[in-house]
């Protein structure tokens, strides 16, 4: 199916009254403390970035997406814009995008991020078919932006001041460069903070144009209670018009931004997040990882007849589904993540198997077992025919008989395989 990317109302102002967007709040954690941000939940009457009335899991987001399209069929874009950062929550973000792409192939998929954790996931983002990414870049001089961030957290290390600003900018530029290499449409958001970076708009727009960025969104600071910039006066319309005019010398400007909530839904300027809040909260109360919503079962097998490969050794998964007559069909094969990337390998595996309710293997380590279970994928260690395992999983009967009673891991010294990378 060919997707008409001109239907994105944020990137094409000509269609903002014809097509709408929904933001799916699946990303609660953030890796940066911006001095203008105060993320509150349960505030349906306040419209600003970082606000949502609840958090959804990827499966809940898929259900909610269906409800949204029933209520507003003009929705053409599904995006994730928080309430934290999508790539401080990569499993939830990419899992949601994969579910949407499979179930709603006509949707435009969109992400909005600070860019700190984006780079390692760009190939996955592009392969899923996320076509639009917004990166908030508040300047290209760390001496300027060091005053905008309270801290930047990279893994278990927190950075402050100039060091934080330098790290963030380096990651942003690296990510934008690769996004453009992969053909992704990129918008840059620039939050104008008077007295801090308002003099820096044109220079930033010029630099971003040189990187191939497609659109520049110069946004006025919205002072929030409880933040460092709470007492800074919001730039007036005349100031913003002047700054956008300066930026427009180098890049097209977005002038119709509504500074949307993390759970925004509807047409721009006609948001229905308050109206849909009850539905959103009802979806959030559903089981977070309902396995029966996932149609497939993944199998590690050498020859396609027996479950006889260790999770850490398999190079590909056979993906099976149940037919209406209770027989089984091999849908496809999917490559497993390459060995040697530690815990990241198992996290990538959950995204590869995002639509599988279970995975059948001859054995596995405890670390991948826990990671799979956390993402709602039931890890089954068994021996025997694939069909036996499939019947047990889809019927829910006899499953306990299949599972090996003795838990093994490579570290125990009892693993029957080589245990390559089994954590």
Final residue in a domain of this structure, among 241, 267, 284? 284
Q: Are residues 112 and 86 part of one domain? A: yes
Q: Are residues 178 and 112 part of one domain? A: yes
Q: Are residues 93 and 20 part of one domain? A: yes
Distance of CA 97 to the CA centre of its chain: 6
In a domain, 241, yes or no: yes
Q: Are residues 55 and 109 part of one domain? A: yes
- Give the tokens for residue 5: 């990317």
More confident site: 10 or 142: 142
How many distinct structural domains can be found in the chain? 2
Q: What is the pLDDT of residue 412?
A: 43
In a domain, 423, yes or no: no
- Give the tokens for residue 323: 């037919």
Q: What is the pLDDT of residue 354?
A: 85
Final residue in a domain of this structure, among 242, 257, 284? 284
Q: Are residues 352 and 268 part of one domain? A: no
In a domain, 338, yes or no: yes
Above 50 in pLDDT, residue 406? no
In a domain, 196, yes or no: yes
In a domain, 418, yes or no: no
Residue 45 pLDDT level (bands cut at 50, 70, 90): very low
Q: What distance in Å separates the CA atoms of residue 220 and residue 229, rounded to the nearest whole number?
A: 12
Q: What is the pLDDT of residue 403?
A: 61
Question: Nearest CA to 364 among 409, 320, 316, 327?
Answer: 409
More confident site: 39 or 279: 279
Residue 344 pLDDT level (bands cut at 50, 70, 90): confident
Final residue in a domain of this structure, among 234, 263, 284? 284
Q: Are residues 276 and 136 part of one domain? A: yes
Q: Are residues 273 and 297 part of one domain? A: no
In a domain, 422, yes or no: no
Q: Are residues 307 and 279 part of one domain? A: no
- Please say whether the beta carbons of 300 and 314 come within 8 A: yes
Alpha-carbon dihedral of residues 127, 100, 176, 180, nearest 10 degrees?
A: 50
In a domain, 417, yes or no: no
Q: What distance in Å separates the CA atoms of residue 365 and residue 414, rounded to the nearest whole number?
A: 11
Q: Are residues 255 and 149 part of one domain? A: yes
Q: Are residues 308 and 280 part of one domain? A: no
Q: What is the mean pLDDT of the chain?
A: 87
In a domain, 324, yes or no: yes
CATH number for position 304: 3.30.420.130
Q: Phi, psi at residue 338, to the nearest 5°? A: -70, 145
For residue 297, the enclosing domain spans 291-412
Q: Are residues 143 and 15 part of one domain? A: yes
Q: Are residues 200 and 225 part of one domain? A: yes
CATH number for position 229: 3.20.20.70
Q: What is the pLDDT of residue 407?
A: 46
């Amino acid at each position: 199916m060919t997707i008409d990317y001109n239907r994105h109302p944020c990137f094409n102002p000509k269609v903002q009254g014809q097509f709408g967007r929904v933001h799916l709040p699946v990303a609660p954690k953030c890796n940066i403390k911006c001095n203008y941000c105060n993320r509150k939940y349960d505030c349906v009457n306040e419209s600003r970035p970082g606000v949502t009335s609840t958090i959804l899991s990827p499966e809940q987001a898929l259900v909610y997406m269906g409800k949204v399209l029933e209520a507003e069929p003009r929705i053409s874009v599904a995006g994730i814009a928080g309430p934290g950062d999508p790539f401080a929550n990569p499993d939830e973000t990419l899992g949601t995008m994969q579910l949407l792409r499979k179930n709603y192939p006509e949707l435009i998929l969109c992400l909005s991020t600070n860019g700190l954790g984006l780079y390692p996931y760009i190939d996955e983002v592009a392969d899923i078919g996320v076509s639009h990414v917004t990166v908030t870049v508040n300047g290209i001089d760390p001496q300027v932006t060091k005053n905008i961030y309270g801290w930047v957290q990279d893994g278990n290390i927190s950075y402050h001041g100039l060091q934080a600003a330098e790290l963030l900018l380096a990651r942003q530029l690296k990510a934008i460069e690769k996004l453009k290499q992969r053909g992704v449409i990129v918008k840059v958001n620039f939050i104008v903070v008077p007295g801090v970076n308002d003099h820096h708009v044109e220079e930033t727009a010029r630099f971003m144009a040189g990187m191939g960025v497609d659109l520049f969104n110069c946004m006025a600071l919205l002072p929030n209670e409880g933040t460092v910039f709470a007492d800074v006066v919001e730039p007036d319309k005349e100031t913003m018009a002047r700054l956008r005019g300066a930026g427009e010398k180098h890049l097209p400007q977005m002038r119709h931004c509504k500074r949307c909530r993390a759970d925004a839904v509807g047409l721009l300027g006609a948001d229905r997040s308050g109206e849909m809040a009850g539905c959103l909260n009802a979806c959030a109360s559903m089981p977070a990882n309902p396995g029966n919503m996932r149609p497939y079962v993944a199998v590690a097998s050498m020859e396609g007849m027996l479950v006889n490969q260790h999770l850490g050794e398999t190079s590909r998964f056979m993906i099976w589904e149940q037919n209406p007559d209770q027989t089984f069909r091999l849908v496809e094969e999917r490559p497993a993540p390459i060995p040697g990337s530690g815990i990241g390998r198992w996290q990538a595996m959950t995204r590869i198997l995002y639509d599988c309710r279970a995975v059948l293997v001859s054995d596995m380590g405890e670390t991948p077992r826990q990671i799979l279970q956390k993402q709602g994928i039931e890890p089954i260690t068994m021996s025997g025919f694939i069909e036996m395992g499939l019947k047990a999983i889809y019927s829910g009967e006899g499953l306990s008989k299949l599972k090996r009673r003795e838990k093994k891991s490579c570290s125990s010294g009892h693993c029957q395989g080589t245990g390559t990378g089994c954590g």
